[in-house]
Amino acid sequence: MKSKVYTITLIIIAVITVVAFIGWFVLKPAPYLMQGTVEATSYKVSSKVPGRVDSLTVKRGDAVTKGQFLYGISSPEVFAKLTQAEAARSAASAMQDKVDAGARKQQIQQAYEMWQQSLAGLELAQKTYDRVKNLYDQGVVPAQKLDEAQANLKAMKTTSVAAEAAYSMATEGAQWEDKAAAKAIVEQAGGAVSEVESFVTETRQYAPVDGEVSSVVSENGELVGTGYPVVTIVDLSDSWVVFNVKETMLPKIRMGTRFKGYFPALDRTYELTVDYIAAEASYATWAATRTSGEFDVKTFEVHARAAAPIDNLRPGMTVTVDYNSL
């Protein structure tokens, strides 16, 4: 009798356990997975000058370091402009030297001799005037002779003043306005040279960061325009996961929220932290099926990053997160 009761009790317990186990599976909420995609910062390397690609040194998949030479641009027009700009700067510098130096020694000597000659003429005119004046006072010569002598004296004084001014101008050199203008022209020419030199540096392109070459758009000999990307580099150390999250799921997601993300391509789980939530909704993926009681659900872009770099992580990999675990 006791054995039957014991057996029945075990059977009842087993039935209850099975029912509870089945109920747990039936009533357990199905996992709701948020799916995200890994993205990374990419750099499109291009040049400010057009030309033909030459000396391309990288190919797709190559690892590059910051400052590594990638490719060159053959642009004869840029180097021709550099020659022109340098010639213009040389001409402007020579003109400035001429202005700063002032008149030549021969010109200064010539001006001095002209001044001395005018002084001698002035002295002679003064003596002539004095003699004629004495004779006029004695009534020997008419007034016309005195007027002629006086006019000649005035003319020689004016000539002497002009000759002295010419000599002073020759010794003092150019005016400060001319010197300032010559200096400005030199600076303008120097600026033109610097501008063209900056274009010359653009004919050689280097890696802006450490990373991996994801694409090479043009090959050696191909003509590329201004700003045309030739090489794309992906910085694998700067990566994050992008989720498109329904607004009804945002109550559990805030800046700084941490959760576990599974990376199928790596078969590993890593902790992620939300560091960006879009300020505006991007689009409506889930539209209401009924006109009453439901509403369109918007989508917000959410970014999450791992606390440390993840080995072998690449853009485009899938990441899943169980929303019910948040």
Task: Express each pLDDT in 231-256 by its tens digit.
Answer: 999 999 999 999 999 888 899 999 99
Quote the pLDDT of residue 134: 84
- Examine residue 105 and state whether it is found in any structural domain, yes or no: yes
- Examine residue 72 and state whether it is found in any structural domain, yes or no: no
Residues 88 and 182 in one domain: yes
Enter the tokens of residue 144.
């016309």
Residues 24 and 97 in one domain: no
With a cut of 70, say whether residue 176 has pLDDT above it: no
CATH number of the domain where residue 299 is located:
2.40.30.170
Helix (H, G, I), strand (E, B) or coil at 2: helix
Structurally, the chain folds into a number of domains equal to 3
Residue ranges of E strands in the chain:
33-45, 51-54, 63-64, 69-74, 204-206, 211-216, 223-224, 231-246, 258-263, 268-277, 283-286, 297-306, 318-322
Vertex 324: Cα angle to 319 and 326 (nearest 5) = 75
Q: How high is the mean pLDDT of the chain?
A: 83
Residues 240 and 303 in one domain: yes
Residues 166 and 192 in one domain: yes
Residues 13 and 36 in one domain: no
* Closest of 248, 253, 273, 272 to residue 262, by C-alpha: 272
Tell which wins on pLDDT, 171 or 318: 318
Enter the tokens of residue 78.
């840029």
Cα separation, 223 vs 237, whole angstroms: 32
Q: Check if the beta carbon of residue 58 is closer than 8 Å to that of residue 252.
A: no
- Examine residue 97 and state whether it is found in any structural domain, yes or no: yes
What helix, strand, coil percent values describe the chain, rounded to 5?
45, 25, 25
Enter the tokens of residue 90.
């040389």
Q: Which of 198, 224, 244 is the last residue of a domain?
A: 198
Tell which wins on pLDDT, 5 or 93: 93
With a cut of 80, say whether residue 284 has pLDDT above it: no
Residues 182 and 108 in one domain: yes
Residues 38 and 18 in one domain: no
With a cut of 60, say whether residue 194 has pLDDT above it: yes
Residues 184 and 244 in one domain: no
Q: Check if the beta carbon of residue 159 is closer than 8 Å to that of residue 152.
A: no
Quote the pLDDT of residue 314: 93
- Examine residue 53 and state whether it is found in any structural domain, yes or no: no
Domain span at 287: 31-43+236-325
Confidence of residue 24 (pLDDT cuts 50, 70, 90): very low
Residues 116 and 11 in one domain: no
CA distance readout (Å), 129 to 137, 138, 140, 150, 160: 12, 14, 14, 6, 16
Enter the tokens of residue 121.
């003429």
Residues 166 and 120 in one domain: yes
Is pTM beyond 0.75 here? no
Residues 132 and 116 in one domain: yes
Residues 192 and 248 in one domain: no
- Examine residue 69 and state whether it is found in any structural domain, yes or no: no
